[in-house]
Amino acid sequence: MFSHKTGPSDKPRRRLSEYSLRDLLVVGLPLLLVLIAGFWAASIFIRPAPPDTLVISSGADGGAYQRFAAIYADILGRYGVKVVEKPSGGALDNLARLRDDNQDIDAAFYQGGSGEPQQDEAIESLGAFYYEPMWVFYRDGAAPRGRALDEILALKGKRIAIGGAGSGTHRLALEMLRASGLDGSNTHLIEKGDLGLIEMLTKGKIDAVFAVGPTQSAIVWSLLYTPGVRLMSLAHADAYSRQLPYLSKIVLARGAIDIGRDIPPADVTMVAATATLLVQADIHPALVDLLMQAATEAHGGPGVFHKPGDFPHATAVDFPLSSEAERYYKSGKPLLQRYLPFWAATLIDRLVVMAIPLFALLLPILRYAPVLYGWRVRSRIYRRYGELKFLEAEVERDTSQHTRDEWLARIDAIESDVHHLPTPLAFTDMAYTLRSHIELVRDKVERRTTTTDFQAATTPGQS
């Protein structure tokens, strides 16, 4: 007699025999489809990986926009994002680029008041970043001897540089000149805004320069230290800020630029627009977070016109405030980015969306799938129990309606059906119990039909 020893290779076969492949497919496939549908629905909302390049439109060479673009590039570079800077004519050019689908610009510096949002326009603001004062410089020879100019009207008939076409300086200068009663018909306006104006002003080729930007911009800083050039204090600053609501009245305190050299030698009243960064509405949220971190680092310190922490702040500049920027103003840097590298934080942030169907669907499926599987197997056995119960009830009610052989044939059919049922190993006890119950009913049928046949045979008049 040979004995068969089971080895490791028999275990998978034995485990597989404990289950019905058909029942597994019938129960598992619908649940699998539900899970796949859940992951598909979640994938619609999952954010793609943030791009590793940001295209930003800055401004003219040597201007503040270029300077800040370089600072942003350094900050975003720490997180593996390359900033591609594209110089422009200024705020108006930047806005036009954002509106041009062929330009592929993600973000652009913008001067408040330079334009207006169009209907259904997908451009958003990241808030107020810093003041952009309007600096009005004039040479000593443009003013009466010993007298300082405090009215733009005093420049009537002079040669004034109002910034290059397409720049925020150009637009704001024209509006302030117009409010003062000056235009191209009574004053010589020069559309130029580069560093060459410094030499033109000192050599007497022009009389005044309008320049918009922070003190760090090259042309402003240079003119502040140029001998023979004065900065105009605007006597009508309040009037300008009321006629042009996007302007604010500000004061450059005496010595704020250089205490040692006493620059400026007296308080200077000025007006200023507010600078911001405009972005496409569909820009990746992770890039907005990085830009907000860069803005906080670049503009959050003290300045000659503001205190530390005044900028940036959650004020929409001409365009709607980005929802991601608004969240940043309320909560600061995303929680994961405070403790993890940028790439890891964004990866986890994306995977969280995919974890929703994992916990919402997969865990209940794993919990209830065995129950559904067991119910399906038991239901087949219970169905045969029902057939056996109906047959037994018929025998109890009237045994004579069928012959003994017919009764037994019906029981044999039920037994044969049970014998061919696909019953997993874990449920064979129920199958054997059912077969023993079939035997009980068979014995009852045999007893009842034997008694019926005997009575029929002994009853008078029966043949």
pLDDT per position as a tens digit, 339-351: 777 766 676 666 6
Least confidently predicted of 24-28, 95-99, 300-304: 24-28
User: Which pLDDT score, from 0 to 100, does residue 25 have?
Assistant: 67
User: Rounded to two decimals, what is the model's pTM?
Assistant: 0.66
Top-confidence residue, 420 or 262:
262
Residue 36 has pLDDT above 80, yes or no: no
User: Which pLDDT score, from 0 to 100, does residue 448 have?
Assistant: 80
Residue whose entry in the numeric block shows the structure tokens 């008041």: 113
Least confidently predicted of 42-46, 210-214, 314-318: 42-46
Percentage above 70 pLDDT, the chain: 83
Degrees, nearest 5: CA angle 137-143-146:
110
Tokens (6 digits) for 157:
């008939």
What is the arithmetic mean of pLDDT over 187-195?
92
Top-confidence residue, 401 or 326:
326
Q: What DSSP state is assigned to residue 362? A: I
What is the arithmetic mean of pLDDT over 371-377?
77
Specify which residues 82 forms β-bridges with.
53
Q: At what angle do helices 404-419 and 428-458 cross, to 10 degrees?
A: 170
What is the arithmetic mean of pLDDT over 438-462?
70
Q: How confident is the model at residue 39 (pLDDT cuts 50, 70, 90)?
A: low
Q: How confident is the model at residue 14 (pLDDT cuts 50, 70, 90)?
A: very low
194 Rama class: left (phi>0) / alpha (psi -120 to 50) / beta: beta
Cβ neighbours of 84 (radius 10 Å): 14
Q: Are 229 and 265 in contact (CB under 8 A)?
A: no
Residue whose entry in the numeric block shows the structure tokens 């702040």: 313
